[in-house]
Structure 1
Amino acid sequence: MTFVALLHAVNLGARRKVPMAELRALLTGLGLREVRTYIQSGNAVFSADPDPTLRGRLEAALETQFGFPVPVTLRTAHAWQEAAADCPAHLRSEAVVVAFLRDPPDPARVAALRARDVTPERWEVIGQHLYQTVPDGVRTMKLSAAVIERVLGVGVTVRNERTVRAIAALLDT
């Protein structure tokens, strides 16, 4: 089975560095196959047998290797392709980012998030993905990953639409 692993908050500054060559070596050393990475923001594609402990094993190995905790969000190739295709049409007129939720959000928490005014941003939750417009750019998002994580109570990592499409294409090769 093919998986996509998204590492949360790596390579953003002087700290929390995870070089992609070292990440590929680590994943290969864990017995994962066909390991590939995409850009420096912690995106890995690999093949592995289905294993409910995979995310925990990855997080433990990353912390041991790099010396700091690295939350990981996993998707199967099929779930990634669905996420890439599911962006609601009414959001596509602007730049979009996708917040990948580590766990399914509670509907009451989604309602609490919906009560926040984040105009001019617009967003929609579909399954474990929050699609969001970023009309003023990602640096000024009102609905930041930290806000999403706090209000929904689930881990979040965000990728722009270009990265989501590029990884979807990588899965097709």
Structure 2
Amino acid sequence: MTAYVALLRAVNVGGTGKLPMTALAELCLSAGFVQVKTYIASGNVVFRSDGSEEEVRTALERRLTAHMGRPASVLVRAASEMAQTLARNPFPQQPANRVMALFFDGAPPSDPLEGATGVQGEEVRLGQRELFIFYPDGMAKTRLRLPAEKTGSARNMNTVAKLAAMAAAIA
């Protein structure tokens, strides 16, 4: 079995009428995943499965879509790839809460700043299936908008580190 991290994209997991983390865990269990553990109320879950990355993504997206009544998108990483993402962080000396990994299903855009607006000193670096973004003034104050944000899902490096550790613990 492989340990995976699933990152929900554009799904509000808190509040009334949304997707609580307990429901997310139940959907994972119904898909046959084991050792399911969620992390903070922002759509992060780790688990083990015999399925491939694509099979895991498809199974979870189908269950989320049926549960929510609208299409849902999930990005999936094996535990080893999440650890590699953490290790590839090109901004290791910066505060982890000001560095984001913007995850994609495939390769990131070769020129992530093409079509960007509101650039005010943020730094963007290419990863393998992610972009790394350093927000010197924090995300709350940024005006940066990247076209790639429409298809990716971002997590700060504190969250990436925690998810990598959680996935490694069940691998």
- Do these two structures clear the TM 0.5 threshold for a shared fold by scoring above it? yes
Runs of 5+ unmatched residues, structure 1: none
Structure 2 residue identity aligned to 1:104 = A
Contact kept? 1:121, 1:135, Cα under 8 Å: yes
Give the Å deviation of 1:119: 2.8
Shift of 1:111: 6.8
Q: How does 1:2-41 map to 2 (within 5 A)?
A: 2-11=3-12, 17-41=18-42
Contact map agreement 1:6 1:157 (CA 8 A) in 2: yes
Distance 1:128 1:135 in 2: 23
Mark the CA change 1:16 to 1:9 in structure 2 (over 3 Å): closer, same or farther: farther
Aligned equivalent of 1:64:
66
Q: Residue in 2 aligned with 1:101?
A: 104
> Which residue in 2 is equivalent to 1:147?
147
Aligned-pair RMSD on alpha carbons? Answer: 2.3
Amino acid in structure 1 at the alignment position of 2:42: S
1:66 & 1:33 partners in 2: Cα distance?
Answer: 22
Please name the residue that 1:165 is paired with.
161
Q: What is the deviation of 1:106?
A: 4.5
What is the deviation of 1:85? 1.1
Q: Distance in 1 between matches of 2:154 and 2:24?
A: 19
Q: Which amino acid aligns with 1:65?
A: H
Matched pairs, number? 165
Unmatched 5+ stretches in structure 2: none
What does the per-residue CA deviation read over 1:107-149, in whole Å, with 9 as the maximum and x for residues that have no partner? 3x44736x867231011011111111112221333334x6323
